[in-house]
Amino acid sequence: MARQQRSGTTPNPNLRTSTLPLVKKGDPVLAKSYNDLLNAVNQLMRGNGLPSQVYAGPARGLIQMKIADISADDYLLCNHYDGAVQGTIDIAVAKPYLVRTLASWNSITYSYSDPQTRVATSGSDTEDQVLVPAYVVGDIIYVQVVNWTGVNDATPSEIKLLDVNADARAWAKVDA
pLDDT per residue as tens digits for the range 38-50: 666 666 555 554 4
Residue 84 has pLDDT above 70, yes or no: yes
Q: Which residue has the higher pLDDT, 138 or 61?
A: 138
Query: Distance of CA 99 to CAs 4, 55, 62, 132, 133, Å?
Result: 44, 27, 20, 10, 11
| pLDDT, position 25 | 67
pTM of the entire predicted model: 0.65
Per-domain boundaries in the chain: 25-58, 63-173
Residue 51 has pLDDT above 70, yes or no: no
The CA distance from 144 to 160, in Å, is 8
Highest-scoring range by mean pLDDT, 2-6, 10-14, 20-24, 70-74: 70-74
Overall size of the chain counted in residues = 176
Q: Tens digit of pLDDT for each residue in 89-136? A: 999 999 999 999 999 999 999 999 999 999 999 999 999 999 999 999
Q: Which helix (H) or strand (E) holds 171?
A: strand 170-173
The CA distance from 67 to 154, in Å, is 17
Q: Which residue has the higher pLDDT, 74 or 8?
A: 74
Residue 36 has pLDDT above 70, yes or no: no
